[in-house]
Amino acid sequence: MRKTAFITGVTGQDGSYLAELLLAKGYRVVGMIRRTSTVPTERIYHLGETLEIVSGDLLDEKSLRHILETCQPDEVYNLAAQSFVPESWTQAVLTGEITGLGVTRMLNAIHDVNPHIRFYQASTSEMFGKAQEVPQNERTPLYPRSPYGAAKVYGHWMTINFRESYGMFAATGILFNHESPRRGMEFLTRKVTYAAARIAAGLQTELRLGNMDAQRDWGYAPDYVEGMWRILQADEPSDYVLATGETHSVREWVEKSFRALGLDYKDYVVTDPRFVRPAEVDLLVGDPCKAHNLLDWKPTVTFDQLIAIMVEADKALVAEQEATRQVIAKLRSIH
């Protein structure tokens, strides 16, 4: 029988790729969108009516119950979050409400409506924070370094708690950074590839960044949503690290992105204290052995390939934006 999946955060980077993947696998896919005054569907617009949209919010438990009762999903993927780390210092309570308590609201709703639903929680390598060992695996002690990381630790442990208390199929993926041309513009990788493309096109002269020494384990988002699905197909619910097992510095990402466009980043990049965080996560590198061994999951895109994909996409985007701008300027000059 055709399975139904319910995705929160469907308008985000991962939600859009996961919806595509599950639709291709023959699922009925229902995505939750929260009420906003502008349309946030840029990443899922191309899916048209193949994706069912429902209205709800992780802040509102009643809306979650209503969706579960009416859509009757077999699987729930909880990807919604206030996911931008710097914002979590300025909006710590809101981040706790959405990214932390939002998980409990969803777990409560599942428990009450249908405890047989399989639940995936989007946990994160940010939970390792001031990393207690290298590389980090499922047993590495957690030491979050931001309100976002702390909220995710709470959601992670509530998921395990519901699994152990009620025998629910509640699983987590501890995902290391994963990127794509659909990454939000405020995150480091995309900020860099987009700015480099604009600089190469003569539209911008500098790029202001924070700490260039931090190291991250960066992978390709479509690989990681495949991992999410595999986590919910396992015989038993568990927790899995999804990572490449390689780490690279911010500086290396910047240097290679600029070089891909024939530029030397040193001519354009300026350090700006505004982008330095109150506390940094210095070194993340994951050990994905458990996911390899039990889920047969492996990332397929290398660090260099990821940079090439994102630089090419932003080069094309900048060219398209510039062409549109010129057409509008011409029309304005005529009328």
Positions annotated as catalytic residues are 124, 126, 148
Q: Which is nearer to ligand G4F, 33 or 188 (CB)?
A: 188
Rounded to a whole number of angstroms, the distance between the first and last alpha carbons of the chain is 58
Structure tokens at 113: 């409506």
Angle at 47 between CA 41 and CA 53, to 5 degrees: 60
Residue nearest to ligand NAP (CB): 12
- Measured CA to CA in angstroms, residue 64 lies from 85, 170, 193 at distances of 25, 17, 37
Q: Is the Cβ of residue 178 or residue 200 nearer to ligand NAP in the bound state?
A: 178
Q: Which is nearer to ligand G4F, 166 or 275 (CB)?
A: 275
Answer for which of 22, 30, 44, 80 binds ligand NAP (CB under 6 A) is 80
Q: How far is CA 293 from the centre of its chain?
A: 24
Query: Beta strands of 192-265 (E only): which ranges?
Result: 207-209, 215-216, 219-220, 239-242, 248-249
**Token pair listed for 293:** 């061994």
Indicate which of ligand G4F, ligand NAP, none lies near residue 85 (CB less than 5 to 8 Å, by partner kind). Answer: ligand G4F
The helix (run of H) or strand (run of E) holding residue 105 is: helix 102-113
Residues that bind ligand G4F (CB under 6 A): 83, 85, 124-126, 176-177, 186-188, 191, 209-211, 214, 216, 250, 275, 277, 280, 284
Cβ atoms within 10 Å, residue 107: 26
Rounded to 5 degrees, what are φ and ψ at 148?
-60, -50
User: By C-beta, is 74 or 280 nearer to ligand G4F?
Assistant: 280
The correct pick among 50, 62, 184, 328 for binding ligand NAP (CB under 6 A) is 184
Q: Which is nearer to ligand NAP, 124 or 247 (CB)?
A: 124
CA-based torsion, 205, 211, 213, 218: positive or negative: negative
Residue 180: CB minimum distance to ligand G4F, A: 11
Nearer to ligand NAP, 4 or 146 (CB): 146
For 60, 179, 259, 289, the CA distances from 308, given in Å and listed in that order, are 40, 12, 10, 27
In the block, residue with structure tokens 């029309």: 331
Residue 43 contact partner, candidates ligand G4F, ligand NAP, none, CB within 5 to 8 A by sort of partner: none
Q: Which does 216 bind (CB under 5 to 8 A by kind): ligand NAP, ligand G4F, none?
A: ligand G4F
Torsion of CA 21, 117, 171, 49, to 10 degrees: 20
Judged by CB under 6 A, the residue of 4, 5, 6, 11 near ligand NAP is 11
Closest distance of CB 297 from ligand G4F, Å: 17
Residue 200 contact, options ligand NAP, ligand G4F, none, Cβ 5-8 Å cut-off depending on partner type: none
CB of 14 to ligand NAP, least distance (A): 3
By CB under 6 A, name the binding residues for ligand NAP.
Answer: 8-9, 11-15, 34, 36, 40, 57-59, 79-83, 98, 122, 124, 175, 177-178, 184
